[in-house]
A and B are shown apart, each in its own frame.
Chain A
Amino acid sequence: MTNTSTPIDHQILAALEADTSRDLVPELIQVFVKSADNRIAQITAHMAADDLAGIAAEAHALKSSSATFGAVSVRRLCAELETASKNGDPVTAERLVAELIHALDAAKSDLAAYVKEISG
């Protein structure tokens, strides 16, 4: 399960803030969350349609953006989901999608708390 590690690597978030600006980070996070939600919706739709290639593509994209925002659990699960989908393993993929949804929820809560903290 995913609860062995924190949803967000705050060092990566701090680096993002240092490299851009504190004012910009909430907007960046908002765009990430919207795009991640969209990817999850696509993954769920592909799962229902048994489209493993579609899942692999979306998982890869989400792996890439979650790396930028320090969403380490999401990133790890996306990598595993991409591999399972490419290997044609729908049983593992289905389990990982469920874990991924939970991990993204946890990441979003953590990010929301961070935005509140730096905006306060």
Chain B
Amino acid sequence: MTTEALPVPRRRFLRRPIAPTGVWSWITTVDHKRIGLLYGFTAFAFFIIGGLEALAIRTQLARPENALLTGDAYNQAFTMHGITMIFLVVMPLSAAFFNYLLPLQIGARDVAFPRLNALSYWLFLFGGIYLYSSFFLGGAPDGGWFGYEPLGRQLAGHGMDYYATGLIILGLASTISAINLLVTILNMRAPGMTLMRMPVFTWMALVVQFLLVFALPVITVALFQVFFDRTFNTNFYNIANGGDPLLWQHLFWLFGHPEVYILVLPAMGIVSEVLPVFARKPLFGYPVVVFSGIAIGFMGWGVWAHHMFAAGLGPVANSAFALSTMFIAVPTGVKIFNWIATLWKGAIRFTTPLLFAVGFVGLFIIGGLSGVTHAIVPADTQQTDTYYIVAHFHYVLFAGAIFGLFSGIYYWWPKFTGKLLNERLGKTHFWLMFTGANLTFGPMHILGLQGMPRRIYTYARGLGFDFWNLVATIGAFTIALSILVFIVNVMRTRRRGEASGQDPWDARTLEWTTPNPTPEYNFAEIPQVHALDEFWHRKYVEDEHGKVVPVPAGGSNGHDDPAAGHGAGHGGHGIHMPSPSYYPVMTAVGPPLIFWGFLYSPLLIVLGAFILLSGVYGWAVEPASE
């Protein structure tokens, strides 16, 4: 994005950061690619923490009546595991891909609001640190990621205060990011990049941003109610004064179910990019895959009460939500059929990204089918709040979302770094994780049907739970091992990874028309888009027999020459990019300080508000670039 330099106002209290490298260049960056990498790195760090919490949970449950963790420690562990994996891992990891790739996929030089983008990241990071500070300040949230009332109101200590306020900060980060990306996708597409020429990943990202913009206000209202209840003794969930615990459930799941699609649609988008590349065929039924994603986005708003089939809503409401829940399976199934049809008659190359994408499809089917059994309300009254549900959503969110995200990591790693991750280690990672996921979450179906409730820190002998719990624990450590292999792969690739070149996978979409890693300005010249799978059409044409052949050397298919146009001529000089800024990170320091202030000292509220307002003021008078 180029911006006319505005007249420089006099009143500024921070000098414009100029260093092109070093720590401060990262802290003040507004480059969507650097912010994407920051998101990715931070989310991966939280993935390790959330994974350690999972290992603690699984170790505790490895055998009956285990006393490794106290009940209190266990409740904190499972609460923080859920919050971490949802809000600090899968959402920001998806945001990492959105940030890095969306501008590249639509042929833009940055997002619409680069400084807001930086603010989103810093709010996410500080929100995460804020939440985790609770461990050192008296105890982490211990009422479950779903924070049911009135238990949340009742729990002692500051844990559930951190829950309410921490999620408000993270919601703020996601809302700002969602608005930013919506504007980016709708307004900043390169010439010719019509909506129906957008890559499916960009499409799914667009749906997700809409879901975020509408879902987050709902949970924010509910979280403020809890915050007010706990801090100012209001009565939103005070039963004695007429508060209704079901209000929280409705609000929470009205956010919580769209949230499921917020978590899984990005992975579906990634898989829709990866399968065509490695089958060397276009995505089968592109418009159907796009519209089924949109349909899921809409229908996702009408199924929330299936989380409440045991709450006593009555047969009419239960029937209505049973029907809506069943029929949301249709667009999901349509996507799966289209993915299989994409592979059909392809020339499938078994690379690591493909394995993870196929792993996603194969395992998501299991999560989808168990999801249909939840729609059978009477059966769900047996399943809900048991390990059967834990199995279901881990097939959707671990075997689904995380597999999809790893597919994206392996696929786009060259884009991010210019190097290819090692294939042998990548495949080892995949097979260990595939085995581990099934060992961990497969047996949980059985445990749930055998009557093992969720969220119990201990279980009695003689209930038939012992064997499969041990298997699940072994599976969890297998997953941990697979992640270690991934880390080794990253380290090794950093030191002596194979250079990828510009187009290592023979890809189809616009982001691969720029060098790897991507130059700061993305595109030396804003590309002209003529087709869906633009890059593929620049590389291949049909010959006179209708056979697809590479564009002959020196020939032209009538489009831009792919070799030209990435700065060969002028090396990117003269392209005006938005300048770095201190103000986003400064502004983001404010909210956690303010919320700490409510817990500990009004002085912190004043300090936080001062920093927040100073950041916003400095921001307002700072020209976007100079």
A binds B: no
A: which residues have CB within 8 A of B?
A: none
Binding site for A on B (CB under 8 A): none
